[in-house]
Structure 1
């Protein structure tokens, strides 16, 4: 029953925020009658909502439950004031990302009205090997995870440019050494991401803070110092309060 319920919820994504029963059945791989019965139960609980056209969407009850996740909400509450100060300085995107397995999860993002069109939204999963925050998280991830990713056929997203394992290995070593990662990309417009680790007691990297700015506005030295200083401030408060697991 749980697996089928998760299959229903997994049918939704950013490109499919609302689904009628036929599409919900097709995307979840469940028979129409089963999908209708389970969807009704999820609507009653609040995990799904149904509009006047009979289409289903993710319900607010899931947002309430997700807000209890300590790795997201606890960290977010500490980081947001610092992120706000950094956003005031850069007037672009400021991202807070945690690692979940071999992917990053965007916990929150503060964006100026002048910012570039975002590539990722809160809750999205992003590749570790081709985002600034992801590179920081990968650089401080367990060695076995690094080697598993380095053994894959890697491409830069969304440009689809190949990434050599040797070049990525050098990038990760540089990120560990400088505690800073810089990633440049040409699409959809030339932009630069600069990221730094957020560290909890025991010198554990628990998240990454990054900014994404147009390449033409990049001042590498100032931007790196601003991101590092902000990440250090968040880390200090984590150390004082004790970080969530």
Structure 2
């Protein structure tokens, strides 16, 4: 399946025997934050499908509600997918349980409060509450975050399976978006400290000086299912006090998860 935004060959015919569902998913994957609307030609090109196949599948997806089409024939993601996504226990269900705690935290700090889950080798931002006085956001709901260079990502990475951690530490480690190389040894120590202290503090200077403080959300059985984090301007932060507030909110979400388990 073509990755979103990946260059593909125009008119490329799908491999013989490729399941229809894979081709349909390739159409959906053709959309991203920079390509919210696509005409049929661009849709077929980005999905790596012949125009005739793309047209046939897009028509079926439009009929079902997974795609919408405007008066100019351009396609966009349909609301039916939002209805389906709302059923995901690690998505909308978790978000609804976390929302009261996130709202209280946002009212106290007047900045950004984020809720992030791990999705494969990245973090997925499933909700963000922001004050009108907050810094310009680096990530928006639905965005994928690097695990090794965001506060919430570090919490999720620190509590991921050991084999997964080893794979990440053996990879290309760059602080994003600054593109600064990271030391695997230093990152390993950071992850150990996060597991020990149950909180992550990440300072960065780009695009502006800021601090992220994050804590784990734990379900029944002790597994970390999400990370709650706040992003605040660096000069204004007392990390110890802020860490206590974030940890308290994360524990509150964990208790509600346990009650609904």
Instruction: State the shift of 1:37 in Å.
Output: 1.2
Paired residue for 1:31? 50
Instruction: State the shift of 1:186 in Å.
Output: 1.3
**Where in structure 1 are there 5+ consecutive unaligned residues?**
none
Q: C-alpha distance in 2, partners of 1:74/1:135?
A: 23
Paired residue for 1:124? 143
Q: C-alpha distance in 1, partners of 2:26/2:120?
A: 20
Q: C-alpha distance in 2, partners of 1:27/1:187?
A: 32
Paired residue for 1:114? 133
Q: C-alpha distance in 1, partners of 2:219/2:89?
A: 14
Structure 1 residue 220 corresponds to structure 2 residue 260: no
Paired residue for 2:200? 181
TM-score by length of 2: 0.91
Structure 1 residue 190 corresponds to structure 2 residue 199: no
Paired residue for 1:96? 115
Paired residue for 1:161? 180
Q: C-alpha distance in 1, partners of 2:145/2:53?
A: 32
The counterpart of 2:83, out of the listed 64, 68, 90, is 64
The counterpart of 2:100, out of the listed 71, 81, 84, is 81
The counterpart of 2:72, out of the listed 53, 64, 78, is 53
The number of residue pairs the alignment matches comes to 242
Paired residue for 2:252? 233
Return the structure number with greater relative CO, CA threshold 8 A, min gap 6.
Answer: 1
**Where in structure 2 are there 5+ consecutive unaligned residues?**
1-19
The counterpart of 1:202, out of the listed 215, 218, 221, is 221
CA RMSD of aligned residues (A): 0.9
Runs of 4+ in 1 over 3 A off after TM superposition: none
